[in-house]
Structure 1
Amino acid sequence: MSRVDRLDTFSHRLRNARMLQGWTQKDLAVASNLSQSAIGNYESGQRQQPSSDALIKLTRALRVNPMWLSTGEGPMLNAGEGGAIGTIGDPSVPPAWPFETVSYATYARLSLQEKRQIELVLAAYIKARGE
C-alpha cells in the first residue's frame, strides 16, 4: 500500500483515509453505499465536494471527522476513537478490515448464512489456539 502525504484537497484526504483502511475504491463504495465511480471521481478531483448525504456516508464508513474530510480542519479521527482506526471496544466503530487477500466488497456479497459460517470457523480456530 502506498502512502499519501498531501492532504490539502478533499480528494487527497479521501484517498488517504481509504488507504489507511486498506480498502480499494470498490470496498469504500460498498461500505459507504456510494458508487465506485463516485469514489473514483472524488479521488481524481473530477467531483470537488460530495453532497452532505455522501459526505456523511463517507465519514461513517471511514470513521473520520467530517470537518477534517471536508475542509482539512481539525483532527482526522473523531474524539473518543483513541487515535486508532477501528478502536476495539467501541461497538459503534467497526474495526478496520483485517484481511489482505479477501476484499471487503467480496465479503459483503456473501449471504448472512455464509458470513455466520465463516465467523464460526474463525471462532473455532481461535479457541483451538487457546486464545
Structure 2
Amino acid sequence: MGGPLKILVMGRSERRRNEIADTLAASLGAVRFAETEIKANIVRNLDDSRLDAIERARRIGWLCDQVTKAGHPVVADGLFDTPEERDAFGEACAVWTDEDGVPVIRGSCEGNARAGVLRERLEEILRRIQPAG
C-alpha cells in the first residue's frame, strides 16, 4: 500500500517538536498540524483530561487521514505521551524527541511502499536539525 506519509512528532518539549515538525513539513511539502493550534481552534470544547486527550488525538489523526486520502503528506505534532493517545491517532511514522530534544524515528512506516526511501529521507532531515552537543 503506497501513498502519502502520515508523520507524528511527539515529545515533551513543545519548542523542539515544533522545530522538527516544521522542518519535516517544509522538506516534504507536507500539510502541517500543530497540536496547540488544533487545541485553540478546532477542539476548544475538550480539556486536558486523559479522556479528552485521547479524543483530541483521534480527531487530529482523522484530520491527517483526510489529508493523506487527498494525496498529500502530513505532519502533526503533540505530546501523545500515552499508548492510548498514539493508538487513537492511528498508524503513522513516529518521530519521538527524547529528554535532550534529540529526534528518534520510531515505528516502521509500514504500509507505505516507499517506506525505505521515506525513512532515509526522514533520517537525513533529522540529522540536519540535531541539537548541538
**Structure 1 or 2: larger strand share?**
2
TM-score (ref. length: structure 2): 0.27
TM-score (ref. length: structure 1): 0.28
**Structure 1 or 2: larger helix share?**
1
The higher radius of gyration belongs to 1
